[in-house]
Structure 1
């Protein structure tokens, strides 16, 4: 076996097996202790145990592999030919442990705190932090390991900068959507659950993701709008500054109708609706003298923007019934066609 004794090889493999077994047992023991700590008075103990569990298990496993390899003289000679190889390996191991520790810390401690806030802006920041910090740690660890191996990292950094610029240009739309999503989430005039109108779409905001906003339309359709599009569009929020919303209706009555009586009938039926608010009071105004009818404008307020069509339908149906009972005519367009005879041909 290339000069490696069977005894040395068996002992090294036994050390590796023992190390992985110990890492497995340590991982599950820490998880069990974390669940026990969650039931105690201080939940921070359980959080810390869950954070430290995976890195500690990885450290035990990698430590056993490292020790097992360096027990073999031939492996030591191979690593000795490349100066700094051992330090580079230890640095990469430490980078792995640190990245796992930070990632678990953010997920176990940062996300629960973000969930307790009124808006999800903190949650977005935490998720971005979770993504970027781990990459930064790994890049820093790799650069330090390369330096320990005697590799010049200046040219590598320059190439990395050029590559980063190219990636940033290629991901311009994605970055634009992410920044717009953070801005929308921080905006107090735009919240999950609001009914908004954007372009041809009217619907309720279901969620604001990192790159798109999801709304459910009145037709129960899911529409996903890129955040950078929302940042450029005019957004009408039907639930701000408050949910109270005005509805405008028009009803035509025939010329010669007693307008005071028609107004009283409309005011009376508007007062009997549960959805129509008494403050501000409903209004009935003459808005147009049309070519076939006097057009009455009805302005009323309801408690929420949802259900406008139902309220409009109810008012029209009851107005039609009440006007019919009172003998008030709602005319339809009429056109008078006059036929005249042309001059007779006496020839």
Structure 2
């Protein structure tokens, strides 16, 4: 066998050994990086490992091919500057794409784990895919320019395809970014009771396209996220789950105002002692003469419950006690 071919095989063998050594070094560095608190060393090892192992093999392979060209000149194009530059660009693209993917996976997933919603997890996955495609698309275009390939039609075609996809999925993207707004602005979370337009209920799911609410009638209503992002949202769970219960009480206009207030206050005090698990001491209860005309005097009795789910229980109890107290005292309702 020609000595030139033997030298080429030796170069290839050296490349294999070099790749194994580099792989072993990065395996050692990976174990060391896992013990450190910072994530940057993990990202560097993750992004540089496989590309440098490949590079450690291709460098001796380049010399092997260059040495074998003496015997096989038809393969001289493999060692041209453009081919080498293209290889370097692809490896650099691989490193950058892997590093960016690692950054989004490490920090994006950590951020997504702080919330209960699935939207941010899916946003991270989509951003990872978009970043990877853009980086590889840019790297391949740069390789084409090395070989004098006209990339203008490719860029124009990508633009047309992007516009077509954007128009076809306009509602999808609108709902998706609406979900992103919900995650970043956080007007509510799963479990909160909200009023969106005329829909009142508890949030049970926040997705990338829509949010599902269980109404007080036990129906599930699906609301597109783009509708929510442009609507007024009332959250009964924030800043606290307490709810204000307002009870209007109308009596005849000839009733004794102070007596009516005294009876109502006594009813409220009794309710707080009997239903302390439902009625909050703070904020305090109030009784005001809110409206009056020739036919009635209307008092507004306001008190707070510990949670919004207790509102109807408290309203029922207080209304019943007011009726009983007024009947005993001879006060007529208007």
TM-aligned CA deviation for residue 50 of structure 1? 0.6
Is 2:273 the counterpart of 1:281? no
Residue equivalent to 1:34: 33
TM-aligned CA deviation for residue 49 of structure 1? 1.6
Query: 1:173 and 1:233 mapped to 2: Cα distance?
Result: 17
Residue equivalent to 1:312: 315
Query: 1:220 and 1:31 mapped to 2: Cα distance?
Result: 52
Matched position secondary structure for 1:142: helix
Conservation of the 8 A alpha-carbon contact between 2:264 and 2:322: yes
Residue equivalent to 2:175: 177
Query: 1:128 and 1:153 mapped to 2: Cα distance?
Result: 26
TM-aligned CA deviation for residue 246 of structure 1? 2.7
From 189, 192, 196, the equivalent of 2:189 is: 192
Query: 2:96 and 2:246 mapped to 1: Cα distance?
Result: 62
Aligned length: 313
Matched position secondary structure for 1:150: coil
**84-93 or 252-261: which moved more?**
252-261
Conservation of the 8 A alpha-carbon contact between 2:287 and 2:299: no
Query: 2:13 and 2:239 mapped to 1: Cα distance?
Result: 70
Deviations 1:164-215 (A, max 9, x none): 1111112211322233334445547x24365321145334556755544455
Matched position secondary structure for 2:223: strand
Query: 2:253 and 2:304 mapped to 1: Cα distance?
Result: 28
Residue equivalent to 2:42: 50
TM-aligned CA deviation for residue 150 of structure 1? 2.6
Conservation of the 8 A alpha-carbon contact between 1:203 and 1:216: yes
TM-aligned CA deviation for residue 248 of structure 1? 2.5
Matched position secondary structure for 2:102: helix
**203-212 or 299-308: which moved more?**
203-212
TM-score (norm 1): 0.67
Q: 1:279 to 1:101 in 2, by over 3 A?
A: closer
Conservation of the 8 A alpha-carbon contact between 1:262 and 1:328: no
| Structure 1: runs of 5 or more not aligned | 332-347
From 30, 54, 72, the equivalent of 1:62 is: 54
Residue equivalent to 1:247: 245
Conservation of the 8 A alpha-carbon contact between 1:245 and 1:305: yes
Query: 1:23 and 1:222 mapped to 2: Cα distance?
Result: 57
Question: What's the C-alpha RMSD, in Å, of the aligned pairs?
Answer: 4.8
| Structure 2: runs of 5 or more not aligned | none
Conservation of the 8 A alpha-carbon contact between 1:270 and 1:282: no
From 62, 77, 80, the equivalent of 2:77 is: 80
Query: 1:173 and 1:318 mapped to 2: Cα distance?
Result: 53
* Structure with the largest fraction of helix: 2
TM-aligned CA deviation for residue 300 of structure 1? 3.0
Conservation of the 8 A alpha-carbon contact between 1:267 and 1:284: no
**Residues 51-130 of structure 1 aligned to structure 2 (within 5 Å):** 51-67=43-59, 69-70=61-62, 71-72=64-65, 73=68, 77-78=74-75, 80=77, 84-109=82-107, 130=128
TM-score (norm 2): 0.69
Query: 2:48 and 2:73 mapped to 1: Cα distance?
Result: 26
